[in-house]
Structure 1
Amino acid sequence: MNIDISSIHWIYLAFIVLIILFMIFKRDTTIVCIAGIFLIALTATGSLTASISSVFNSFIYAITELLSIILVISIIVSMSKSLMETGINDVMIYPFTKLIKSPTLAYWIIGIVMLVISLFFWPSPAVALIGAVLLPVALRVGLPALGVAVAMNLFGHGIALSGDFIIQGAPKLTADGAGIPVSDVVHASIPLVVIMGVVTTVTAFILLKRDMKKGILKSGTTVGTGEKNELFNPNLLSVFYRRFFAFLVPILFALDIIAMVVFNLQGGDATALVGGTAILILLLITAAGHKKQALEKTTKYLIEGLQFGFKVFGPVIPIAAFFYLGDAGFKTIIGDYLPKASQGIVNDLGGALASIVPLSKEVGAITSTIGGVITGLDGSGFSGLSLNGSIAALFGHAIGSGVATLTALGQITAIWVGGGTIIPWALIPAAAICNVDPFDLARRNLLPVVIGLVVTTIVAIFLI
């Protein structure tokens, strides 16, 4: 059924273009998104008071949709703080130090450990969790500090964060933007994450070994010394209890994965399971380590985690609020003002685009990749995920297939670019822990990431 494109549709499309332009010029998009919500509401309702209320309601809607993800990430960061302060993280990582015997083993072992831990703890806490322990070992066997930073970056902020299979924060944002289930995005992203990860990490390793042979990168401890875990208080837990919890924590999370498979838990259910486990671990560690001060310390950890969570998602909420208007959020936020035959603003625009421009899988995939690159330029990786989902839905409906694949491609691109692999100001955590220049790290990652994006885009074309 043909839907007439109304002024609401045109305003929505115009603000998408404006948001992209602002991101290209590295300007904040919060005011643009708020203005877009207000103007769309004013056009739909014709009421000034209703339009002002719609801006606030859109924030409530966005926070409600994202709250589970914000909360679980905050809780995991809180738990990470407790692991670092009690020294449990050092015990968890220590066995891997015995396996690192050469620069090659150092690169791949650090990368894989970073990948696994980042899936459960998120990359930013994971950098602190493993960097202080594994960096000195890698330096002793001849891997430059820049090589350690590359490994932690590509495996953590690249592979783990772009897939985000356990916590599912990224798939939640893109899926909501595209108006499809989170599970569809997760399944579609698996082959793309694997391709992107393999191509990027192997390319980076080859270039790293080449430059080490040429002497461009010098091995050993001359490059950096890393940072110690300054939070660690050896008086909190005995060696026995540190070892006990170092064994218990991964076991509990492994049981979570088994439960997800056995009981087919996905999306919000999977997130709730991980979050609940993290709370349980936090309470056990705090009770064992702080004893009489456990009540106060638990609150302190939770406050620090919530501060981190809202700091990360603060810029995301206004953008998500705008893009939720493109699908089911419109009726909840503004009301039933679209034409009766409308399938949602994004779907309507996609249908109209298909009737005007002959689109193809190639055009859709390349556009999703470019959109991901642009939205990643702000150095967040997450702030533009709703936009990427919206663009994917637009082109997917126009092509007639591949919405989930295009959504996953946009998600992967945005996070690899902005989540902390090639934008210097997003690389500071890994650069700081390895004592290297974030601009040097960005230059080192650039070519592998670009090659990976090209190959992944080509693969995505065949999967649509």
Structure 2
Amino acid sequence: MFVQLNLLHWLYLVFTFLILGFMVAKRDTSLICIIGIFLLSFFATNSLSQSTMAIFNSFIYAIVELLGTILIISIIVGMSSILTKTGISQVMVSPFSKLIKTPTLAYWIIGLLMMVISWFFWPSPAVALLGAVLLPVAVEVGLPALGVAMAMNLFGHGIALSGDFIIQGAPKLTADAAGIPVGELMSASIPLVFIMGLVTTISAYIFLRRDLKKGILKVEGKEKLGVNRENNNEELDSILPSKIKSFFSILVPFLFFIDVVIMLIMKLQGGDATALIGGTAVFILIIVSAVTYKANILEQVTAHLVEGLKFGFQIFGPIIPIAAFFYLGGEGFSAVLGDLLPEGSRGIVNDLGLALASVVPLNAGVGAVTLTSVGAITGLDGSGFSGLALTGSVAKLFAVAIGRGIETLTALGQIAAIWVGGGTLIPWAVIPAAAICNVDPFELTRRNFKPVMIGLIITTIVGIFLV
């Protein structure tokens, strides 16, 4: 038996479709979410003042839920900025340039490096780092700049960001909306993330080699590369001696490696794992600042933290209203508005899922295809993250209807949302990689399209059997 649906359930459903529709139309959804929060609150409380307060309170609830994610990303970016400015980042990856002897090695080495660095530092800093250091080397051995951009996109913004196993920002968002532990989502996502990654990167490589052989794709001359290296490290680069840079280039990855070992031994996941990474990043920022700035360390540590926080809130600013709305579909409703749902209700999303199961015979195939489609649609805004709350809520709805598979369905939605919107298929999302490689973002997304679509189709098929 399920609770009789009332106006609140139908309002939530209508606004879910409205948000989806505006995402398809590539329009911002913050205002739609705010209106949805207000109307849900008004019809629940019958009070204009309480429903107005609920907008603010739902934002607070969303920020509290997301604060750990926002903070870890901000700290990582702040730390990455000083590593880049001092030239330590360049020293960290420079040994790999000696291994790049052929276009094939260039594609896979740059891709795998991008994936590993993105797990710890996120893709944005990794793009600037690898583009500046390894792009000229790759072009020298015959891999076009477009191929370098593809490798960085697919391995960084695709594999690393869709799994996000170390920082755990994406799984936290999606798991919260689905109402499941982060650890369960990550366990379910591991096979899907790597199947998607293998299929997509191998497909992209095959198409790349084919077009190189046919002469459709050619290596541009060095004068056309225009590697977009911002020389923001010139001032500080000369401050640190080569030996100091070499020391930090070993110390930084070693410290993060120790973190991974500690996570495995102590079985740290979710917030605990994030806290370990974040605390390590803060210590690295302080140590490097002390050596670099000496007497000005107090001001400079703050400056780098502020730089990171600006980036974090710029990224998550549009996500907060969306997350606030979708949190109302679960435990957020009671936290913000109190116990105002019908007696016996399990939450708006759960009620809708049970109602759907009673009228529509759903199965694993329908659920998997739907979640991949919803994830891909939410990624059309070019963020990848803004739709994670929606995919988590829809996964919960379908899992309740099917009776199983919430972890796999949630993982499918997360993977599709981030691969499409996180920086592989939306022209304005691939701009960092396109800019650093000096290639047309529309050409880059066109090149990525077929491999990513093949990957999504095969991953969805595998997901059907895992639900």
TM-score normalized with structure 1 length: 0.99
**AA partner of residue 452 (structure 1):** G
CA RMSD of aligned residues (A): 0.9
Among 421, 426, 432, the residue aligned to 1:418: 421
3-state SS, counterpart of residue 262 of structure 2: helix
Structure-2 separation of matches of 1:316 and 1:408? 19
What is aligned with 1:230?
Answer: 231
Runs of 4 or more above 4 Å deviation: none
Structure-1 separation of matches of 2:28 and 2:436? 28
**AA partner of residue 237 (structure 2):** P
Shift of residue 219, structure 1, vs aligned partner? 2.2
Aligned pairs for 1:23-422 (under 5 A) are: 23-219=23-219, 221-222=221-222, 224-232=225-233, 233-422=236-425
| Pairing 1:445–2:439 present | no
Shift of residue 249, structure 1, vs aligned partner? 0.4
Structure-2 separation of matches of 1:104 and 1:6? 59
Shift of residue 235, structure 1, vs aligned partner? 2.4
* Structure 2 residues without counterparts, runs of 5 or longer: none
CA deviation digits over 1:360-397, x for unaligned, max 9? 11100010011011100000000010000001011011
3-state SS, counterpart of residue 99 of structure 2: coil
Check whether the contact 1:376–1:415 (CA below 8 A) recurs between aligned residues.
yes
CA deviation digits over 1:327-383, x for unaligned, max 9? 111101111101231111111100000000000111000100110111000000000
Structure-1 separation of matches of 2:385 and 2:149? 21
What is aligned with 2:436?
Answer: 433
**AA partner of residue 18 (structure 1):** L
* Structure 1 residues without counterparts, runs of 5 or longer: none
Structure-1 separation of matches of 2:242 and 2:66? 39
Structure-2 separation of matches of 1:38 and 1:379? 26
3-state SS, counterpart of residue 377 of structure 1: helix
Shift of residue 4, structure 1, vs aligned partner? 1.1
Shift of residue 220, structure 1, vs aligned partner? 5.2
Structure-2 separation of matches of 1:131 and 1:336? 53
Shift of residue 129, structure 1, vs aligned partner? 1.7
3-state SS, counterpart of residue 180 of structure 2: coil
Shift of residue 89, structure 1, vs aligned partner? 0.4
The alignment-based identity, stated in percent, is 64
Check whether the contact 2:128–2:229 (CA below 8 A) recurs between aligned residues.
no
TM-score normalized with structure 2 length: 0.98
Check whether the contact 1:136–1:225 (CA below 8 A) recurs between aligned residues.
no
**AA partner of residue 407 (structure 1):** T
